[in-house]
Each structure stands twice: as structure tokens, then as C-alpha cells.
């Protein structure tokens, strides 16, 4: 059983005010080409189809074109889709019944009551059936009507209890989970990027141990390709670079091959050729301009200038060379010293004094003596605790 593992298409994404529609159409066209030549048994898309829950008409048209072109390939390739945290479950599931007749399986929502189960799709190869469990993004609170009176408190517990209801035959059948959550586990650290959003303190973490019995776990949510605790639990990463923090990523298409039961899945990575790369340039203005290569002038460029003397109109000069400037930063001794002074001032400033300034700004008057004494008592109690 060979299938493509995609996730986080983020159709409709903009990068520092630049529309990425052309870039997305180009890389999706490359995926269509690979599908026609490789002929996978399925295409799996693990969430975040769109970049926002209410996608533009243009974004919907791009995804419609992608599905239509994939559907033209013969023999037909089943397409399995779940919603991510950026998607609207209801919008994504629109006409899912009709799509199912064309082997396009869409799961936007987790079970909503005791009678519903996780969407399961059965596909078959020379070794028998493979069960694909489609688990879209969710929060434990979504399950209040599934586990009446006993709503799971953590994300790990929620995933475990949902899967327990399915009575999955891990011993004899090949099982694939498609999930869009923040999974962690093992000795290695999970690598995140600026373009991803997490709750403070890692509240949304799911322990990868909850899904380790699957033959393969196709994950979405993190933009960097990586394994979680084991090679068979994997984030495929995005097809394109969606932030400056991803400039060092090697974006590829993940192709998974499942053999017989108990054989380890084989992961192949096919190269992708984006219209534009995302790059970081650091140095003085003259060197960056003089050393600009012809083939990178239309790339998305983040520039950090190290000139000790501010150059004349640096952005205007850079825009004569590079067509897509994302940002222009300054990092020299003068700016570092100023930042250090600000950090020191912030670190040692009296909290009551900071609150007094905040109160003045919000209320338009200074703290009265009685109010000041109340705040002194509060801060004093907080310090003791």
C-alpha cells in the first residue's frame, strides 16, 4: 500500500503581505504530476487545507482545481482529508456525501455523540485491507456529548478514549491513523516554527504513546518534517516554506509504503521545486547587494543589516535587486547595546511603579494614596507566596 502523506496546505496563505497563490498552484501541480507518474494507492491530507476558517472564494477554487485534477487520474486514486485547526469543519465537510461517491473522503468533525464513531476508510492491496482512521483536529470539550459526565481532561486522554471506542485490531490488521494535533514524545525534541500556534505551557500536547500501536501515523500541524518518538509516527511538514523560521527546511513530498503486517513502513522523500525559496541574508548592505545571485532575485528574502552606520534608504536599494523583500532588520553594536539597556531597565523596574504607569495611562489619573496602599499590600502578598 503506497500513499502520499500531505498536510498543512494553508491555501490562501500570505507571506509578509505577499500572496502565495501562484506558489501554491505550482507546488500542487507538481504533486498532481507525481500522482500521475507514481500512481499511489491513496493521497492523504492531514489537515489545514486552508489558512483560515473562512477561506476566500479564490482559495476554494484552488483546492477545487487540485481535487479535480487528481480525480482525473485513472485508475482513480482515493483521497482522504481531515480538517485542521485552521479549517472550518462544517465548510470542509460540505457535499462530503457526494465526494465520497468519487472516492474523496472528508472528515471534518470528531464524533459528536455516543452513536458516532471516527470515520474509517478501508482500502485494499495485495496483502489485504488497510484501515485508515480519520481523526480531525479537536479539543477535549468537543467530546462532552460522547462521554457524558466524563469529558476527558487532557488531549492525550481524549485521543486514547476515542480510539478505545473503535476496538481496533492492532494484532492482525494494518491500521493507519490520520491526525492533526501537537504530538510529542521520546527523547528527541519536537521542532516548531514561527508559523505554528500553540497554547501557553503546551496544554495541547498529545503523548505519542497513545498512537504507537498503529502501523503508521500520518500527522499534520507542524511545518517541519520530523518523526515523533518513532519513524512510523511522522509529521510530513508543509510543501512550501511559510515563515522565515522555515528558511532552512528541506521541503519534500512524503511517500509511505506499507508492506505486510508487522513490516516497518518505508518512507521515501521526493524533491519539490517551488517557484520561490525563502532565504535569510545577513551582512552589510553593499555586500548583500553585490553578492546577490541572479536565480534568487525573485525569492522571498529576509534581510538583517549589520552596518554600523545607517545606510541611505536601505529598503529602496534592496528592492532594486530583490523582488520580494519580507523584512529588513538591523543588528549592529549600537542596536544591541540599546536593546540590552531596555532589557535591564525592564528587568529591574519596580512592579508597583509599572502598575502605576499603566493605571495612569488607562484611567487618565494617578493612583490615590489609598489605592496605592492596596496595591502595595497585593504585591507584598504575591512576593511572599
pLDDT digits over 159-170, tens only?
Answer: 999 999 999 999
The angle formed by the CA atoms of residues 302, 304 and 308, to the nearest 5 degrees, is 160
Closest listed residue to residue 193, CA positions, set 254, 235, 147: 235
pLDDT digits over 84-127, tens only?
Answer: 999 999 999 888 889 999 999 999 999 999 999 999 999 999 99
pLDDT digits over 214-255, tens only?
Answer: 999 999 999 999 999 999 999 999 999 999 999 999 999 999
Residue 287 corresponds to which cell in the numbers above?
Answer: 555586500
Mean pLDDT of all residues in 200-211: 77
Closest listed residue to residue 89, CA positions, set 134, 133, 120: 134
The pLDDT value recorded for residue 200 is 40
Class of domain 2-271 as given by CATH? alpha beta
Distance CA 179, CA 222 (A): 12
Distance CA 314, CA 310 (A): 8
pLDDT digits over 314-340, tens only?
Answer: 999 999 999 999 999 988 887 777 666
Contact yes or no for 180/136 (Cβ under 8 A): yes
Torsion from C-alpha of 109, 112, 117, 119, nearest 10 degrees: -10
The full set of domain ranges for the chain reads 2-271, 278-334, 350-384
Amino acid at each position: 500500500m503506497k500513499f502520499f502523506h500531505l498536510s498543512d496546505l494553508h491555501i490562501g496563505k500570505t507571506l509578509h503581505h505577499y500572496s502565495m497563490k501562484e506558489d501554491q498552484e505550482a507546488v500542487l501541480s507538481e504533486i498532481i504530476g507525481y500522482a500521475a507518474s507514481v500512481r499511489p494507492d491513496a493521497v492523504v491530507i492531514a489537515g489545514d487545507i486552508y489558512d483560515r476558517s473562512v477561506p476566500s472564494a479564490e482559495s476554494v477554487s484552488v483546492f477545487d482545481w487540485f481535487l479535480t485534477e487528481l480525480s482525473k487520474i485513472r485508475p482513480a486514486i482515493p483521497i482522504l482529508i481531515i480538517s485542521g485547526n485552521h479549517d472550518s469543519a462544517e465548510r470542509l465537510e460540505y457535499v462530503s456525501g457526494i465526494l465520497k461517491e468519487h472516492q474523496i473522503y472528508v472528515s471534518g468533525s470528531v464524533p459528536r455523540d455516543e452513536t458516532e464513531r471516527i470515520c474509517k476508510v478501508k482500502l485494499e492491496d495485495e496483502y489485504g485491507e488497510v484501515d485508515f482512521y480519520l481523526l480531525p483536529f479537536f479539543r477535549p470539550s468537543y467530546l462532552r456529548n460522547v462521554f457524558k459526565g466524563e469529558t476527558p481532561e487532557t488531549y492525550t486522554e481524549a485521543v486514547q478514549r476515542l480510539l478505545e471506542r473503535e476496538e481496533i485490531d492492532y494484532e492482525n490488521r494494518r491500521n493507519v491513523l490520520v491526525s492533526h494535533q501537537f504530538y510529542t514524545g521520546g527523547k528527541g525534541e519536537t521542532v516548531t516554527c514561527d508559523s505554528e500556534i500553540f497554547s501557553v505551557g503546551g496544554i495541547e500536547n498529545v503523548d505519542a504513546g497513545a498512537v504507537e500501536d498503529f502501523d503508521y501515523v500520518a500527522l499534520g500541524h507542524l511545518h517541519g518534517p520530523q518523526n515523533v518518538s518513532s519513524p512510523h509516527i511522522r509529521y510530513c511538514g508543509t510543501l512550501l516554506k511559510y515563515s522565515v523560521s522555515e528558511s532552512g527546511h528541506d521541503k519534500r513530498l512524503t511517500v509511505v509504503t506499507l508492506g505486510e503486517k508487522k513490516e516497518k513502513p518505508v518512507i521515501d522523500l521526493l524533491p519539490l521545486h517551488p517557484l520561490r525559496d525563502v532565504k535569510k541574508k545577513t551582512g552589510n548592505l553593499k555586500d548583500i547587494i553585490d553578492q546577490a545571485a541572479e536565480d534568487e532575485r525573485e525569492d522571498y528574502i529576509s534581510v538583517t543589516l549589520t552596518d554600523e552606520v545607517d545606510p541611505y534608504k536601505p529598503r529602496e536599494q534592496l528592492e532594486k535587486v530583490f523582488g520580494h523583500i519580507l523584512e529588513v532588520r538591523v543588528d549592529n553594536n549600537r542596536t544591541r547595546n540599546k536593546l540590552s539597556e531596555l532589557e535591564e531597565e525592564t528587568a529591574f523596574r519596580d512592579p508597583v511603579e509599572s502598575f502605576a504607569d499603566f493605571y495612569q495611562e488607562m484611567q487618565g489619573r494617578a493612583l490615590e494614596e489609598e489605592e496605592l496602599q492596596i496595591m502595595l499590600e497585593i504585591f507584598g502578598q504575591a512576593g511572599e507566596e
